[in-house]
Structures are given as C-alpha cells and as structure tokens.
Amino acid sequence: MKPSEKGAGFLVTIAATAAFGAAVVAGALLIDRAEPVSDELIPPEATVEYGERLLRYTAELIGPNAEDPSMRYSGSNLDCASCHLQNGESAGTLSLLLSTPRYPRHSGRDGEMQDMRARINGCMERSMDGRRLPRDSVELISMELYIASLSERYAGMGTPEHPGTTFVEPNRRADAEAGREIYAEHCAVCHGENGEGLLETGDPRNGYTFPPLWGPDSYNDGAGMHRVLTASRFVKDRMPLGAPNLTSDEAYDVAAFINSQPRPQKANLEADFPNRILRPVDSPYGPYAEGIPFLEDQLKYGPFRPIREWYREQREAQAAALEDERG
C-alpha cells in the first residue's frame, strides 16, 4: 500500500559572503550550469515523473530496505517529502519551488561551487544519513528534472509571493528542558514520546506517516536540520502539521530539545567549512574559527546574535586582507 501523501518531518544551504564574490564567480565558470545540457545527455529512463516518485517514496525505492540491494542509497526510511512538504510543492520553509534558479552557488560547507546534483547528494549523505548517488544515475537526474519542473511551474504561476519565515530569533539561550515540555504537549502525539515517529505500515519500506525526529532512523548530526535556528524556522512555520501555532520562543526551545537527543553521526565532519568563518552561527560542531570567544554550549544553543556579529567582523577583516593582497 502506498500513501497518497507522506507525513512531515524535518536541511538549509549556506551561501558565501560578498567578500568572496570574485572567487564564487570564477568558480561558477568551471561548473556546468545546466546539467544535463541537452536532451541527448538525459537518459530516456530519467523523467520528471520518476523524480517525483523518488522524492515521495524514497524509502521504498532507494532506502535501506529497497528490493534491489544495489539501490540502497538512503541510510534511513525517511522520504524526501518528510521535510519537503507536499513533495516540495508547498510554498514556504523547505519548499523546492525556487530551488533550481539558485544553483550553481558557492557552498561554504563544501568550500566550492555546488550544482543541484551535488546539493541533492548532500541531502542524501546528511538528512537521509546515506551515500551519494552517481552523478550520471537515472535517479539523480530524475530528481534534478523534477525539482526543475517545480521551478518552471512556479514561474508559470506568475511568481506569486513566496512566504518567508515567521520565526523571530529570541536573543537568549534556547532552553532544551522547556522544549521537552513543549514536545510532550504538541509533538509527541504524532512523532512519538521517544521521537520514534509513526511508520506508514508495518513495512519500513513504506516510510513514515510522521517521521522520527531522533534515534537511528532520523537525520544525522551533519544535517542542516541539526542546527537549532534551521529547525526553529521549520517548526515555527510548519508545525504542528496543518495548523502551525507555536510561538517563536516555543519553536526555539523545542528545536533545542529535539537536537539535544541522540542521532546518527556523520563521519569526517571536521572537513566541513574549510573557511571556518563561513560556518553558520548555529553550527553545532567544530572545528570552529581560530580565536572564537564563545563556549561550545553557546555555539549550539545561543544566544546567537553575539556570534553572528563576531563572524561578521571576521569576514570583513578577511575581505580587507584580500583587498590588500590584491594591491
């Protein structure tokens, strides 16, 4: 039995700062901006329809229990639609409607230009706790085609207003213990008392109606959703599903509680953000920029405004140093 709609759950990419604009533009020239460039390079098996199915039925088609062992790329039984609500068609936080025009772009996390296929594979390794799909695979190209079709559809609608986040960042430390109570009151009914989620059926290949928020079948600690501010925006704008009603403070605290719980660990996180001052202010893991004057607890739970200001000063100083080198 396949569900007509998957449930919701809990990803954000990092853009480079203007100080590195010249390097970003130069890097863009080295990347194929429109892969695949022509129809001849698209395998006939790669279709928008297949891409849509892959996002909706990720666990079944490429999950850890997929019928074909060679197709087991995702490390969890989550679906892409667990985070990208209505298969990415729902406007708002984590919508895919405007994704294609934003790529290629510089990734501070990877330290290089990133196209749409690389971005999808980043999700595979982090949010899905799995491994990369081959760049020329039917599956990866189909996902790329489907996401591109959403952007075309959005443009065809006359570009209606795309809602931004309603989350207002509190200027304090997030309180995970307060978040525990908020979770019990507002979240546990769908996601389980222990964050285990609710399977669609008895077969994990059918994915979740409501995805797990921690534990072995959730996103790993390298995922964007493992950042408190990223999770807070999603919770504030989207949860509870269908009737989001939490305050920004409640979203902030429950995000801290969720991300204080155990989850899969991604290897080689120390390679992320080779330019340390491009690290997001709420990055919960190091290594951090040299000389950063904040304790680990604040770097995970805030308050984040002083961290943001410190990073801004460091980026300005680095930009000035680069200008001096150019003479």
pLDDT at res. 156? 77
- Which letter does DSSP use for residue 133 in this model? P
Greatest pairwise CA separation for the chain in angstroms: 66
- Domain positions in the chain are 18-156
Cα–Cα dist 40/215, whole Å: 43
Name the token pair of 21.
């604009």
What's the predicted TM-score (pTM) here? Answer: 0.86
* Per-residue pLDDT reduced to its tens digit, 202-256: 999 999 999 999 999 999 999 999 999 999 999 999 999 999 999 999 999 999 9
Local structure of 107: helix, strand or coil: strand
Residue 159 has pLDDT above 80, yes or no: no
140 touches 80 (CB < 8 A): no
Name the token pair of 16.
């480079």
Bridge partners (DSSP) of residue 208 are: 199
pLDDT band with cut points at 50, 70 and 90 for residue 29: very low
- Where does 18-156 sit in CATH, by number? 1.10.760.10
Name the token pair of 190.
């769908």
- Helix%, strand%, coil% for the chain, nearest 5: 45, 5, 50
Orientation of helix 248-259 relative to helix 176-186, angle to 10°: 100
pLDDT at res. 60? 98
Cα angle for residues 216, 251, 309 (degrees, 5° grid): 100
